[in-house]
């Protein structure tokens, strides 16, 4: 059978070792004669899984002790509501940096709860899509927080800067880049990420929140989105997505075995530079993002002749290279190359691209 490499943007591929381990213990977990899906989240066995996952996640990102980690439901979009509901306090506005599709989706949701001050960060540099540097983001004085999305999954655009906005509470949607590099957590008030790209299966959302920001939720905030309620109940106010939590824990152990996020960062840069290198060297493929703002996780590219798109997708799929179709709002192709995608997968992709160009260019 052809080796399959899955370039899906999310739910995305998981490390093969993790899937094999989950498979081996699926029907008889820890000798209990049942799967981990079928036991109480309040029993000592699952509590151990939950605690270990949090410990490993904290270790991987070096999360300081004044930050809480919450294991939530509701995905990234849930947090588009959760953030204003938890952080506005008595303020009525918040700064929202618009760098792409997901940041602007967060703005739409925020409108239900406050007046977002939208900072349009999208610029064109030498005909290429780029983002304004953080130093040019006009933060307003009376805003409750500043929200941005460091890696835009659909647009393939990213800011690689570390925020430094003094006392302003910085909130970041790391759904598509969490754990892909190290982070100075202390620069953030809240970080959130849906699990289905770089953490584990869909259904789980991680929130990292600085503890002084707890206790401010709007009275109409649903309890399952309320950071304080979740924290007081060890993320078990209601039944958590236990299987996703367990599997994410296995991914964290795998990441530790690989050498942690610094090692992943190195490999991720290597994968991205290999792929962008092949795109840049040819007139057959094109990526229109300025090099400084290129995503290392999601690489959109177009074929010069879009009439070949269908054939490219058919042939790549037959070669074991799956899910390369670009998002419907952008078109073309997109290769998502999260932590679980090995360098070898990107090599197979670039070799395929070079060969496809030779045959059809
Ligand atoms: N933010 C980003 C950066 C995303 O990529 C996505 C999903 N692709 C979301 C938010 C929305 O996540 P969910 O579907 O989990 O609500």
Q: Region 157-164: what's the mean pLDDT? A: 98
What residues are paired with 5 via a beta bridge?
A: 321
Residue closest via CA to ligand 1's atom 4 equals 175
Tokens 């940041």 correspond to: 103
Å from CA of 102 to ligand 1 middle: 7
Residue 306 confidence (pLDDT) above 90: yes
- Beta carbon of 203 within 6 Å of any ligand 1 atom: no
Sorted by sequence, the CB contacts under 8 Å of residue 17 that are 6+ apart come out as: 254
Residue 332, number of CB atoms within 10 A of its CB: 19
Question: Mean pLDDT for the chain?
Answer: 97
pTM of the model: 0.98
Residue 2 confidence class, pLDDT cut points 50, 70, 90: confident
Helices 261-281 and 343-360: crossing angle in degrees, nearest 10, is: 10
- Beta carbon of 175 within 6 Å of any ligand 1 atom: yes
- Known binding residues for L-glutamate are 9, 42
- Beta carbon of 176 within 6 Å of any ligand 1 atom: yes
- Known binding residues for pyridoxal 5'-phosphate are 76-77, 102, 153, 173, 196, 238-239
β-pair type (151-152, 157-158) = antiparallel
Pocket probe for ligand 1: among 73, 148, 151, 153, the residue whose CB has the most ligand atoms within 8 Å is 153
Reported in sequence order, the residue ranges of 190-308 that DSSP labels E, i.e. its strands, are 190-194, 205-210, 285-286, 298-303
From residue 312, how far is each of 165, 166, 332 by CA, in Å?
44, 48, 10
Q: In the Cβ-directed half-sphere of 139, how many Cα atoms lie within 13 Å?
A: 19
Peptide bond into 56 cis (omega under 30): no
Q: Residue 210: what pLDDT?
A: 98
- Known binding residues are 9, 42, 76-77, 102, 153, 173, 196, 238-239
Residue closest via CA to ligand 1's atom 5 equals 153
Q: What distance in Å separates the CA atoms of residue 168 and residue 193, rounded to the nearest whole number?
A: 21
Nearest Cα residue to 114 out of 137, 142, 138, 75 = 142
Residue 22 confidence (pLDDT) above 90: yes
Nearest Cα residue to 148 out of 124, 174, 185 = 174
From residue 288, how far is each of 128, 271, 344 by CA, in Å?
5, 18, 25
Is the predicted ipTM greater than 0.85, yes or no? yes
Sorted by sequence, the CB contacts under 8 Å of residue 344 that are 6+ apart come out as: none
Q: What distance in Å separates the CA atoms of residue 257 and residue 59, rounded to the nearest whole number?
A: 12
Residue 147 confidence (pLDDT) above 90: yes
Å from CA of 105 to ligand 1 middle: 9
Q: Residue 1: what pLDDT?
A: 78
Q: Region 165-194: what's the mean pLDDT? A: 98
- Beta carbon of 338 within 6 Å of any ligand 1 atom: no
Å from CA of 61 to ligand 1 middle: 20
Token pair listed for 332 = 């073309």
Active site residues: 102, 173, 197
Å from CA of 193 to ligand 1 middle: 8
Pocket probe for ligand 1: among 8, 75, 109, the residue whose CB has the most ligand atoms within 8 Å is 75
- Beta carbon of 155 within 6 Å of any ligand 1 atom: no
Pocket probe for ligand 1: among 11, 75, 76, the residue whose CB has the most ligand atoms within 8 Å is 76
- Beta carbon of 153 within 6 Å of any ligand 1 atom: yes
325, 7 contact by CB (below 8 A): no
Coil, strand or helix: which one is 226? coil
Q: Region 301-318: what's the mean pLDDT? A: 97
Q: Residue 312: what pLDDT?
A: 98
Q: List, for residues 200-259, the tens digit of each pLDDT value.
A: 999 999 999 999 999 999 999 999 999 999 999 999 999 999 999 999 999 999 999 999
Helices 75-87 and 101-110: crossing angle in degrees, nearest 10, is: 50
- Beta carbon of 268 within 6 Å of any ligand 1 atom: no
Q: Tell me whether residue 182 is exposed, middle or buried, using C-beta atoms within 10 angstroms of its C-beta: 0 to 12, 13 to 18, 19 or more.
A: middle
Q: Residue 108: what pLDDT?
A: 98
Q: List, for residues 98-138, the tens digit of each pLDDT value.
A: 999 999 999 999 999 999 999 999 999 999 999 999 999 99
Residue 361 confidence (pLDDT) above 90: no
Residue 56 confidence (pLDDT) above 90: yes
Q: Region 189-210: what's the mean pLDDT? A: 98
Å from CA of 80 to ligand 1 middle: 10
Å from CA of 356 to ligand 1 middle: 32
Residue 161 confidence (pLDDT) above 90: yes
């Amino acid at each position: 059978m052809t080796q399959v490499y899955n370039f899906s943007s999310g739910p995305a591929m998981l490390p093969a070792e993790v899937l094999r381990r989950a498979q081996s213990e699926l029907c008889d977990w820890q000798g209990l004669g049942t799967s981990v899906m079928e036991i109480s989240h309040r029993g000592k066995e699952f509590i151990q899984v939950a605690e270990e996952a949090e410990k490993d996640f904290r270790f991987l990102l070096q999360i300081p002790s004044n930050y809480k980690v919450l294991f939530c439901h509701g995905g990234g979009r849930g947090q588009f509501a959760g953030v204003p509901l938890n952080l506005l306090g008595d303020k009525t506005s918040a700064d929202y940096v618009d760098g792409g599709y997901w940041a602007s989706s967060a703005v739409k949701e925020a409108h239900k709860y406050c007046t977002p001050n939208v900072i349009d960060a999208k610029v064109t540099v030498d005909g290429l899509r780029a983002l304004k540097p953080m130093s040019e983001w006009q933060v307003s004085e009376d805003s409750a927080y500043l929200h941005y999305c460091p890696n835009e999954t659909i647009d393939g655009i990213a800011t690689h800067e570390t925020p430094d906005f003094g006392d302003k509470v910085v909130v970041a949607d790391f759904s598509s880049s969490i754990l892909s590099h190290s982070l100075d957590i202390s620069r953030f008030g809240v970080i959130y990420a849906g699990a289905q790209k770089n953490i584990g299966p869909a259904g789980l959302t991680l929130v990292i929140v600085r503890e002084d920001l707890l206790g401010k939720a709007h009275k109409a905030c649903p309890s399952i989105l309320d950071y304080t309620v979740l924290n007081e109940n060890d993320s078990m106010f209601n039944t958590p997505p236990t299987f996703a939590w367990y599997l994410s824990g296995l991914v964290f152990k795998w990441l530790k075995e690989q050498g942690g996020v610094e090692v992943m960062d190195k490999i991720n840069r290597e994968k991205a530079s290999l792929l962008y290198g092949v795109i840049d060297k040819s007139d057959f493929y094109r990526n229109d993002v300025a090099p400084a703002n290129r995503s290392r996780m999601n690489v959109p590219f177009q074929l010069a002749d879009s009439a070949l798109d269908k054939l490219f997708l058919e042939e790549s799929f037959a070669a074991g290279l799956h899910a390369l179709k670009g998002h419907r709002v952008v078109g073309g192709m997109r290769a998502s190359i999260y932590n679980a995608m090995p360098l070898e997968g990107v090599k197979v992709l670039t070799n395929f691209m070079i060969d496809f160009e030779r045959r059809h260019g």
